[in-house]
């Protein structure tokens, strides 16, 4: 989520306050969607280095589906 927020500000010119509020609201409405503790698995993933965090989170949470 930090990556999305950062890109909204840096690449799309969204005001920081608006981007941060978006993240806060997503976290508030979808608390079950957040995965923590996957960071140690990132280096084990063999896919594109820029996408390894997403796959590591999916593996860690036993996800059936990845939507990015």
Q: pLDDT tens across 2-59, in order?
A: 889 999 999 999 999 999 999 999 999 999 888 999 999 999 999 999 999 999 999 9
DSSP string, 29-68: H-GGG---S-GGGGGG--S-GGGHHHHHHHHHTT-S----
pLDDT of residue 24: 95
What angle do the packed helices 16-29 and 2-10 form, to 10 degrees?
A: 150
pLDDT of residue 66: 87
Query: Burial level of 43, CB count in 10 A (0-12/13-18/19+)?
Result: exposed
Whole-prediction pTM value?
A: 0.70
């Amino acid at each position: 989520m930090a990556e999305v927020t950062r890109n909204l500000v840096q690449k799309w010119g969204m005001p920081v306050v608006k981007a941060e509020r978006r993240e806060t609201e997503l976290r508030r409405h979808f608390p079950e969607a957040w995965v923590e503790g996957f960071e140690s698995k990132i280096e084990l993933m063999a896919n594109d280095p820029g996408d390894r965090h997403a796959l590591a989170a999916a593996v860690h949470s036993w996800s059936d589906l990845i939507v990015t």
